[in-house]
Amino acid sequence: MMSPRLRELREHVYKIIFEADTPAGKAFDLALIFFILLSVVLVMLDSIPGIHDVIGVWLLGGEWLITVLFTIEYLLRLCVARRPGRYAGSFYGVVDLLSILPTYLSIFFPGMHFLTTVRILRILRIFRILKLVQFLGEGNNLWQALKRSRHKIIVFLTTVLTVVIVVGSLMYTIEGAESGFTSIPQSIYWAIVTMTTVGYGDIAPVTPLGQIVASLLMITGYGIIAVPTGIVTTEMMRPTPPPVGGTCPCCGKKVD
């Protein structure tokens, strides 16, 4: 049985950690965002050879210090959360856990600490801190449009996949290893790069027939890029279906 004083302390810590309406809660979240950004900057700097050779030890020490602070914070969230299991399985709970695991895993797998840049996802709390929750509604509209158009997008991606496999196999047959098309997977890679108009230039056809096929694929790529944009835009422009018993926004009739 938890004593009243301990219960009061737990509730106070809960308000600071999970709520941003109080001055203490807002200060805590802003400090948290500062350390998140600082941690990401430290990891980025540590990946630069010149900086790593000079102050790599200090950067690693700073990263470990921040990781320990985040670990304490995560354990506090589990302790004071009204439903610890629900928090641990939530989006923020999973991100909080993933933000500290890479540093500990780097003990056994060197280089894993660079994955701590996933902490930048924790910056999403800024929507709650700065009262920008209304913008999440716009993100939800986009997500709903993607869900409604998922079947069309799957058909589109399947078509694209089919095209690059066919064209990749065709180019492997036409050009061969002499032109850099050493295998069908390598040729499919070229087809994807060409269709998306990226064009790295590391592989290029040299025969007239191969260049004709490549030109047709490039032209096709320009047309294909616009397809998913049109699909999602159409769904976003479509009014959201009203719930049963509600009123249709188009005609004003009641939905049975």
- Residue-wise DSSP of 188-240: HHHHHHHHTT----SS---SHHHHHHHHHHHHHHHHHHHHHHHHHHHHHHSPP
Does 82 reside within a domain?
yes
Domain that holds residue 90: 4-131
124 and 154 both lie in a single domain: no
26 and 126 both lie in a single domain: yes
Q: To the nearest whole percent, how much of the chain has pLDDT over 90?
A: 18
22 and 113 both lie in a single domain: yes
Name which of 5-9, 34-38, 145-149, 241-245 the model is least confident about. Answer: 241-245
Does 153 reside within a domain?
yes
How many domains is the chain partitioned into structurally?
2
* Average pLDDT along the chain: 80
Chain segment 131-152, per-residue pLDDT in tens: 555 555 566 676 777 777 778 7
149 and 127 both lie in a single domain: no
pLDDT value at 169 more than 90: yes
Question: pLDDT category, 249, cuts 50, 70, 90?
Answer: very low
Quote the pLDDT of residue 138. Answer: 60
Does 137 reside within a domain?
no
What gap in Å lies between CA 50 and CA 91, rounded to an integer?
A: 36
188 and 158 both lie in a single domain: yes
Does 254 reside within a domain?
no
Chain segment 47-63, per-residue pLDDT in tens: 888 898 899 899 989 98
pLDDT value at 245 more than 60: no
Quote the pLDDT of residue 208. Answer: 92
Name which of 155-159, 226-230, 243-247 the model is least confident about. Answer: 243-247
Chain segment 46-104, per-residue pLDDT in tens: 888 889 889 989 998 998 999 999 999 999 999 888 888 888 888 888 888 888 888 88
Question: pLDDT category, 165, cuts 50, 70, 90?
Answer: very high
Contacts of 76 (CB under 8 A, 6+ apart): 13, 17
122 and 147 both lie in a single domain: no
The domain spanning residue 92 has which CATH number? 1.20.120.350
What gap in Å lies between CA 54 and CA 46, rounded to an integer?
A: 10
What gap in Å lies between CA 175 and CA 12, rounded to an integer?
A: 70
111 and 171 both lie in a single domain: no
72 and 9 both lie in a single domain: yes
Q: What is the pTM of this model?
A: 0.61
pLDDT value at 117 more than 70: yes
pLDDT value at 246 more than 60: no
Quote the pLDDT of residue 52. Answer: 87
